[in-house]
Chain A
Amino acid sequence: MIPLLGISTQALFGQLLLGLINGAFYALLSLGLAVIFGMLNIINFAHGALYMVGAFCAYFLLNLLGLNYWFALIISPLVVGGLGMIIERTMLQRLAGLDHLYGLLLTFGLALIIQGVFQNYFGSSGLPYAIPRELAGGTNLGFMFLPNYRGWVIIFSLIVCLATWFMIEKTRLGANLRAATENPTLVRAFGINVPRMVTLTYGFGVALAALAGVLAAPINQVRPLMGADFIIVVFAVVVIGGMGSILGSIITGFLLGLVEGLTKVFYPEASNTVVFVIMAIVLLVKPAGLFGRTA
């Protein structure tokens, strides 16, 4: 195969595929954040911590109740989504008319609390969670060995992302939601319970984070700080994609995965920082983000 800049094309395909898989993760994680910001104008800094709670939930379901991964995929988001709804009801609702940055500060504080408490009880090294038997092993694609689980990740994330986008942009429920954010008073006049919609939406966004957590548990060590590593990258994805745009953050998530994958080959030390370089460039050139509406 023709070596391209010091790496064979075969190896390059392998890296790109891995990058795409990571992109699927970013897309799923930033989806919840984009939903919450796009619909509610809340900058949810607790997203990383709730992702972590989702992963721990999967661990507990397995080790305390004997419920395996497939149950966890459904139950964990419901549980954590419920927790999200409680948070919204008790705390975020009080910040309804205030500067958006208060929401960010509050959720930042919540993230500290959640992570701190988990760390006290579970230490920092984390807990083991195995890949479910049905998805174990891998296939040799010729240019690389792809673990089946990773293939599952990319397919599942795509399905969830597209389903969410469809629901918000194309269904009546989504239309109501978008209207409620644009003009709550008017929508309330139609008899729609706006505060309840807000609570449910926040819960939904959080549930998406927990889902990403369950998806991550078999391949990343389940540790209290697992979300903290991700959170600012996920923010960057949402900002680059355009803060109001669901489709934007999905596409950006995948794109970022690809760019990061390439960086890991050619300049690996910078793979954590490249997203910020892109964010700065995008913000300066197209301030509303790639797909966002005007700032």
Chain B
Amino acid sequence: MSRRRVVITGIGMISPLGTSAGECWSALLEGRPSVAATPASWRQYAETASTIWAPLPPIDWPAHGISRIEQMQLDTSGMLTLAASTEAIRDAGIAASLADPKKKTFRLDGLAPERCGVFMGTGVGGITSFYGNAVNHVMSPLKSVLADPTSLPPMPPRFNPFGVPAMMPNAVSALPGIRWSLGGPNLTFSQACAAGTVAVGHAFRAIAAGDVDVALCGGAEYLGDPYGGIFRGFDIARTLVTEGSDPQRANRPFDRDRTGFLFAEGGAAVLVCEEADAARRRGARAYAEIVGYAENFDGYSIMSIEPSGTRIVAMIEAAVRDAGCTTADIDYVNTHGTGTAVNDEIESAVIDQIFGSKPLVNATKSLTGHCIGASGGLEAAVTALSLAHQTTHACHNLEQPIRDLRFVRAAGPYRIDTAITQSFAFGGHNAAVVMKRIA
């Protein structure tokens, strides 16, 4: 059987830049990042080298279809996923009919549930829910033995009985599968910062191979625990940006003065991917076609990219081959682009070696911050939007590039026919998705 074609027909996004794909895309084009001082309350627990982050905007959960009861039951990573999936399905023009009002489940009109899959990535799943229950568990007995229990840090009011389903990483796949009654493969990928890209790649493969006709795919993450302990974990590993004189200018991937990545509170991106003929028959609008995917593994270090970049080069070349292209066809590279010294040094050398200075190069994380397991999904969405609108965003704060590549210095219209979005993760996982403009 020849490989089936796969198109992206719906996009949902929540990130520090906004609570819809439209808001995120506008903020990217306008160069409006979300940068703020970390919560002052975190400092009572530890001083950190980095003191800025990319917080999410306030989210009106009921407006995103998340009830008061669900807010008590679900981890924020799960709520972000459900919200992004709702937007993506609406955006794809797929109508949903209420299946069970009590469970709040829906059926997607015109789609066979067993032919629809879910492929989501997350770095740490419901870690903040686990954290909340752990704090409650340990601190509750202290209340009765301390002379002044009011001196205890604030803790969650209860040991949440839904702590287990909230913390399990597969909730980010299970929840949209339940909400939309999807009975095909339902998979969760946990390759840290590459998880979203891996998830999109596997959704592409499943549709291309004929295993499913429709897939919800992308990534989700939530890291904003009330104590800053998750932030501290990244900070103590010296991966985070230190702000210098101007916090707004601190996050600067591929710049000589970069100091690390901007920690994001969280985010989610969900793409609706479909077999191209079926999408055309139902009159769906397509943003882009996914044409290739590859993944491999450094086998080198749990926290650092293999310095020669050999495995990344092999992975990118394999993705381009899988797309039936040559490296000369690539017009746009959505980089992993974190802003750490090591990542940007190796990634820029790899791009130079493979593509030279022909393709446009930008770093979505220069504006969103690093949403870890959500980032690959968000960047796949940004790549699809860049192809659809023939427009992309700038590499924010880039003043002195570390290498002579064609970095996007100003948002605006660009001719982009073929694009690649790539991610490299803690652990050593490398993955890239290749997309084409809809002709």
A binds B: no
A interface residues with partner B (beta carbon < 8 Å): none
